[in-house]
Amino acid sequence: MPSAIATEKVFSDIKVNMYDHDPAASTAVICSPDGGTTKRTIDMSLYDNFAVVAGNQALTGAGINLLEIVAAENAAMTTNLTVIKTSGAVVADALDDFVVLECSAEEISQLGNGLRYAAARITMANAADEAKVVYIGYAPKTKTAGLTATYIS
């Protein structure tokens, strides 16, 4: 019989979102399911830390070549776009390969006054390559039950 106790320790301390990244390009594209039109961002005014895990999902080429954390003043990621962290060149050429990066809100603010939104920017080897990307907002300014919840579209 499964536990009847409702526990929420981990998911009231972190915000986790998982995204499909289908860039339709072999250039650097902010995490997006539709070639950069819909950009996946996190509002860093709500968290002390941000982490990204990006792994291959569909391969035609050699998968992920570069993972970056970028920040901007607006959620559209168009104002003062700044590279915060970079993985450097990688050859993530197998389906089980993944790349991780993290930064703090303090690091973001030191690199640019007014930078508020962060995102993963990923360069894929082939325009047909796709990735699954996990965003983790850690140490929320306000702990809340249900910060991370099941999402079914």
Query: Do 21 and 63 form a contact (C-beta atoms < 8 A)?
Result: no
| 69-104 pLDDT tens trace | 999 999 999 999 999 999 999 998 899 999 999 999
User: Residue 145 has what pLDDT?
Assistant: 79
Spatial CA neighbour of 101 closest among 85, 83, 117, 82: 85
pLDDT reading at 9 higher than 80: no
| Band of pLDDT at residue 53, cut at 50, 70 and 90 | very high
Spatial CA neighbour of 77 closest among 110, 103, 53, 43: 43
Q: What share of the chain is helix, strand, coil (3-state, %, to 5)?
A: 5, 45, 50
- HSE value, Cβ hemisphere, 13 Å, CA-based, for 83: 11
| Helix, strand or coil, per DSSP, at residue 111 | helix
Record the pTM. Answer: 0.91
User: Residue 50 has what pLDDT?
Assistant: 97
| Band of pLDDT at residue 140, cut at 50, 70 and 90 | confident
| 97-121 pLDDT tens trace | 999 999 999 999 999 889 999 999 9
User: Residue 37 has what pLDDT?
Assistant: 94
What CATH number belongs to 17-140?
A: 2.60.120
